[in-house]
Amino acid sequence: MTELIQLEDIRTYFFVRKGWFGRVPLKAVDGVSIDIDERETVAVVGESGSGKTTLGRTAIKLLKPVSGKIIFQGEDVTNNDENIKEFRRQAQIIFQDPFTSLNPHMTIEQIINEPMIVHNIDDEEKKKRRLKALSDVRLLPSEEYLPKYPHMLSGGQRQRVGIARSLVLEPVFIVADEPVSMIDASSRVEILLLLGELQKKYSMGIMYITHDIATAKYFTHNIGVMYAGKIVENGSTLDVLNNPIHPYTSALKEAVPDPDPNNRLRFRNVIPGEPPNPIDPPPGCRFHPRCPCATEKCSKEEPALRDISKRRVACHYAEKFLK
């Protein structure tokens, strides 16, 4: 497969006021490298505050990294805004909240037309694309949805409109930022399977951002697990979900509730403690204050992300956790 986007040692910091005069960096993303090939889906998973949403927004240049490179289709686009309009056409985002991401005063037709107006697409082509996009997200008959307003649709239908809006520019890369976390459980799997189908149909690369590691299995090829601004495990989704090596990945997997109501242990182990403050992360391994396997070495030395068992893992004792 050909590489679509490569993020190389990306650092995205926000500078926040501390004390009377000083400003300190909040290191939301702190040295992340991850690749997405053409027609590949990669899940970026982690708890709130892990930096996953900031990483997604940096990948499509809604945020500027303080260092690192964004290589898109072989070209370094990190600081090159010459072709930003074309980049914006090719790299789209599906937002988390279908209730606030659609303008309540606009009809579905106006919402879907908006990006095409920005890109000067003629009326005939607009009509063709909006009907195709609505039909691809299974809002049928499509013509009946065009005059409706967002409040007339369910959460799942609104998210389908959000997906259709991102498809009309025929992007090659989409960041799907928690696309199912705000909709009811019955629609979630449908939307995830739909994204998988659309990825094949439109030959797109997708970065799927989620806090729910279990949903990554529905349509992603690879997974990157983030903790406190860093990738701690990255490999094929099957390998990582079936046999996690990093203690944080194992803990995320353990925290997924069992859907079987007869299982008395259905509310599984939650990870103890809180993620660290990104302004002042702990020394050594950032996960050490919460890790059940931590040693003195973990609190002093930061583990490198290294290749092991067909994946990359940042843990001093990764070999010990291999099954």
Strand partners, 32: 10
Burial class for 182, CB neighbours closer than 10 Å (0-12, 13-18, 19+): middle
Tell me if 245 contacts ligand SF4 by CB under 6 A.
no
Residues in the chain: 323
Q: How far apart are CA 32 and CA 224, in angstroms?
A: 10
Tell me if 308 contacts ligand SF4 by CB under 6 A.
no
Q: Site for ligand SF4 (CB under 6 A): how many residues?
A: 13
Spatial CA neighbour of 28 closest among 74, 3, 62: 62
- Residue whose CB is less far from ligand SF4, 179 or 303: 303
Tell me if 66 contacts ligand SF4 by CB under 6 A.
no
Using DSSP bridges, classify how beta strands 205-210 and 41-45 pair: parallel, antiparallel or unpaired.
parallel
- Residue whose CB is less far from ligand SF4, 143 or 280: 280
Residue 19 Ramachandran class (φ > 0 left, ψ -120 to 50 alpha, else beta): left
Beta strand extents in the chain (DSSP E only):
3-18, 22-37, 41-45, 67-72, 75-76, 91-94, 173-177, 205-210, 222-227, 230-236, 306-308, 311-313
Q: How far apart are CA 103 and CA 98, in angstroms?
A: 10
Q: Are 237 and 256 in contact (CB under 8 A)?
A: no
Tell the smallest beta-carbon distance from residue 223 to ligand SF4 (Å).
17
Tell the smallest beta-carbon distance from residue 50 to ligand SF4 (Å).
14
- Interface positions, 160-219, toward ligand SF4 (CB under 6 A): none
| 288, 305, 311, 312: which one binds ligand SF4 (CB under 6 A) | 288
Tell me if 298 contacts ligand SF4 by CB under 6 A.
yes
| 210, 285, 311, 312: which one binds ligand SF4 (CB under 6 A) | 285
Q: How far apart are CA 160 and CA 176, in angstroms?
A: 12
Distances 181 to 48, 152, 185, 289 between C-alpha atoms, Å:
12, 20, 9, 28
Distances 129 to 7, 126, 137, 176 between C-alpha atoms, Å:
31, 5, 12, 21
Q: Which stretch binds ligand SF4 (CB under 6 A): 15-23, 85-93, 193-201, 291-299?
A: 291-299
Tell the smallest beta-carbon distance from residue 227 to ligand SF4 (Å).
9
- Residue whose CB is less far from ligand SF4, 108 or 252: 252
Q: Which stretch binds ligand SF4 (CB under 6 A): 25-33, 153-161, 189-197, 283-291?
A: 283-291
| 60, 164, 303, 312: which one binds ligand SF4 (CB under 6 A) | 303
Q: Which stretch binds ligand SF4 (CB under 6 A): 32-40, 41-49, 130-138, 284-292?
A: 284-292
- Residue whose CB is less far from ligand SF4, 134 or 213: 213
Tell the smallest beta-carbon distance from residue 87 to ligand SF4 (Å).
37
The two tokens of residue 63 are 């945020």
| 235, 291, 311, 312: which one binds ligand SF4 (CB under 6 A) | 291
Tell me if 287 contacts ligand SF4 by CB under 6 A.
yes
- Residue whose CB is less far from ligand SF4, 188 or 246: 246
| 3, 294, 308, 309: which one binds ligand SF4 (CB under 6 A) | 294
Tell me if 52 contacts ligand SF4 by CB under 6 A.
no
| 24, 121, 293, 308: which one binds ligand SF4 (CB under 6 A) | 293
Q: Are 202 and 209 in contact (CB under 8 A)?
A: no
The two tokens of residue 151 are 């409040």
Residue ranges in contact with ligand SF4 by CB under 6 A: 246-247, 285, 287-288, 291, 293-294, 298, 303, 315-317
